[in-house]
Amino acid sequence: MTDAVESIITPELRGWIGRRSPLTHLEIISASDVRRYVDATGDANPLWLDDEFARAAGYRSRLLPPTLVGWVPFSLRESADGSRSDTTDLRRQLPLPKNYTNVRNAGSETEWLQAVYLGEQLSTQSCVVNIVARQGRAGLGIYVTQEEQVLNSRQEIVMRRRHSVAVFPEKKFSGAQKDPE
């Protein structure tokens, strides 16, 4: 490894690989939440809206839209002082160099493993799976990959997402300079 990489991927930062967040219960998604989702997206699939239709399709009752289930872990509330009270997003807790504040999405893969039913208690847990440094046009970046899981009340994984972010040094802009990306 180069000296620059060693200076930003410290042993303390590397020690976060494999760290898991506590299992956190999510707010239960209600029928009114689903109606608001349908109104906002236009996705009026009868599997989300009609118990009889869902049963006729082989489910025990109506389902939650997968997109809505996938959004719930990202919608955890901030505390009154504006700080995140979400302990499942470990990326926000990493001991990054102080000037590394320019965060960019570096990719995401989502895997749906089981149906989720209206009113079902879900929980989430995350794990940092990789931290690497790479040189790019924006400078030397720290790439962090976290795996998030959403589990049902039987602790079965219903959704798994791998999401990577790239964190670069803060970029100072002056005058008419443009971001190289």
Domain ranges of the chain: 3-28+87-169
pLDDT above 80 (res 60)? yes
Q: Which residue has the higher pLDDT, 76 or 152?
A: 152
| CA-wise closest residue to 73 among 31, 35, 114, 124 | 124
Question: What's the confidence (pLDDT) of residue 175?
Answer: 52
At 147, list the tokens. Answer: 């795996």
Indicate the pTM of the whole model: 0.78
Question: According to DSSP H, which parts of the chain are helical?
Answer: 3-8, 11-14, 31-41, 46-49, 51-56, 66-71
Give the DSSP letter string of 18-69. T-BPPPEEPPPPPHHHHHHHHHHH----HHHH-HHHHHHTT-SSPBPPHHHH
**pLDDT score of 1:** 53
Report the amino acid identity of residue 117: Y
Torsion of CA 70, 108, 105, 88, to 10 degrees: 50
Is the C-alpha dihedral spanning 109, 106, 20, 7 positive or negative? positive
Identify the pLDDT of residue 77: 45
Query: pLDDT, tens digit, for every residue of 90-143?
Result: 888 899 999 999 999 999 999 999 999 999 999 999 999 999 999 888 889 999
β partners of residue 63: 117
What is the architecture of the domain spanning 3-28+87-169? Roll (3.10)
What whole-number distance in Å separates Cα of residue 73 and Cα of residue 135? 31
Calpha distance 48→92 (Å, rounded): 33
- Per-residue pLDDT, averaged over 150-166, amounts to 95
